[in-house]
Amino acid sequence: MDAVAVSAAPLSTQHVVAVARNGAAVSLDPGARAGIDAGRTVVDRHLAGDEPVYGLNTGIGALADTRISRDDLEQLQRNIVRSHAAGAGEALPAEVVRAMMLLRARTLSTGRSGVRVQVVERILDVLNAGITPVVPSRGSVGASGDLAQLAHIALALTGEGSMLVGNAPRPSADALREAGLEPLTLQAKEGLALINGTEGMTALGTLALGDMGALLAAADVAAAMTIEAALGTDRPFAEDLMALRPHPGQADSAANLRALLDGSAVIASHRESRHAVQDPYSMRCAPQVHGAARDAHMHARRVFEIEMASVTDNPVILPDGRVESAGNFHGEPLAYALDLLAIGATGVASISERRTFWILGPGVSRDLPPFLSTHAGLGSGYMLAQYTQAALVSECKGLAQPAGLDSIPTSGSQEDHVSMGWTSGLKLRRVLELVATVVGIELLCAAQALDLRRPLVPAAGTAAALAAIRKRVPFLDQDRDLSVDIAAATEMVRDRDVVAAVRAAAGPLL
């Protein structure tokens, strides 16, 4: 996807990823201009009257009852942006900020926020220029939207704060000037419109959806390789058995395992063997655990698809001319979805570590050397790789505790219940990073074990995964610095290299 046209129409995950990560060009759909102008006309009409209207000629939050004179309306918007740019901590990755900007431009394009067309165009100009506001990562409580983070974006658009030019932070005024852009001058309602929405949580969740989808496919590949290398059986994944408990995610994961193990000479070599009546749960129940995470992923996708088609501003401009305060900025639906994704991803990491543990230790009962070492005792093989998995899984468990259950009142208790969904999103992002490493380590160990099974030949799907891994990581014939191998395997999970190799050789995975 090389270009994205922004309008009132919903964005997709693919749109967000294309702009946030791949630098796709953005433009304002010509058809959106009439709706934006109509919303601004409503704002102007109310400003010409004497009635107080929240956010147009009043203070905000707990100061909503304070009337602002016409002469001070532009200063009010500048003050809103400056005062709310109160974030702290390390800066967000550029991809998150770019996703937020795209999503906010889409919301403003609905005409429900009452901004001028120039505001939307300036956001898109900055995206196309490849300069990115520097946005601190902490400060949102996930209600009234992600105020602090969006305010830092708005601040940069006005020529204050900082922007990244390449990887170097520069004063926003300089970055804009060098890009041939003028700082944005805010008019009535526009500062509030730029900062009031759930686009921060939505950006974190939308990017996470793609990352988790890749992890789920990689986890099925790793499980298939481990089951095969452990001389496990594929019988528990039979379609008629899965139909007895028809959860969609479980069915999809089992279908992947059947496809990945189809035609395996390794499994055929012991299909009638009496070496084990049952495989351990970490192998036999892989579709049930992976499938539960897949179902969580499907639920979260529905939530974020709705959010990317929503208006989360406050107040909102309605077609009949009303300007109404509402609560669509509350992040609880997103918080719960983000927390659920973190729980599901942690479960995938937990069972992956268990499978790895099994082939490193108990696997000796099925003729695998201790810790998959070719010189066990003199060498430790992959012993410490499982330690790393254990540490990362433990960290994931702590991070997966739901943040969306918390609430701390803000704004003098005007905002007396908040979602903490931003924290849920940040934690999820870290969980997915850790899970990619856990699954990468399982892939390394499973590849080692499959090589140890030679001359038995793996299935086409698992053989393709093994070949892809061996392009980056050689067989462990003697102890070496495993951190380099782990980093390479993690990168292959994140970049979808292993899954892509499987799909090229054995067909699509669900």
Contacts of 199 (CB under 8 A, 6+ apart): 99, 100, 103, 104, 107, 145, 146, 150, 312
Using DSSP's 3-state secondary structure scheme, residue 169 falls into strand
How far is Cα 480 from Cα 156, in angstroms, rounded to an integer?
Answer: 48
Residue with tokens 């990581």: 473
CA pair distance 196, 314, nearest whole angstrom:
6
3-state SS track over 71-95: HHHHHHHHHHHHHHCCCEEEECCHH
| Sole residue written with tokens 């909102």 | 316
The closest alpha carbon to 317, from 416, 203, 190, belongs to 190
The Cα 96–Cα 337 span in angstroms is: 18
Cβ within 8 Å of residue 339, ≥6 positions away: 400, 402, 403, 404, 424, 428
Q: Which residue in the list 54, 281, 336, 382 is annotated as catalytic?
A: 54
387 carries an active-site annotation: no
CB atoms within 10 A of CB 6: 25
DSSP string for residues in 10-40: PP-HHHHHHHHTT--EEEE-GGGHHHHHHHH
Which H, E and C letters describe 481-493, residue by residue? CHHHHHHHHHHHH
Of 290, 424, 417, 430, give the one whose Cα is nearest residue 354. 290
Q: Count how many Cα atoms sit within 13 Å of the Cα of residue 32 in the half-sphere of its side chain.
A: 25
Cα gap 418→434, rounded to integer Å: 28
Quick check: helix, strand or coil at residue 215? helix
CA atoms within 13 A on the CB side of 413: 0
Residues 6+ apart with CB under 8 A from 492: 440, 443, 468, 469, 472, 498
Query: What's the Cα-to-Cα distance from 210 to each of 147, 286, 360, 442, 493, rounded to whole Å?
Result: 25, 21, 31, 21, 12
Q: In angstroms, how far is CA 452 from the centroid of its own chain? A: 36
d(CA 303, CA 337): 7
Measured between alpha carbons, how far is 99 from 77 in angstroms, rounded to an integer?
24
420-434: buried (b, 16+ CB within 10 Å) or exposed (e) per residue?
bbbbbbbbbbebbeb
- Which residues are catalytically annotated? 54
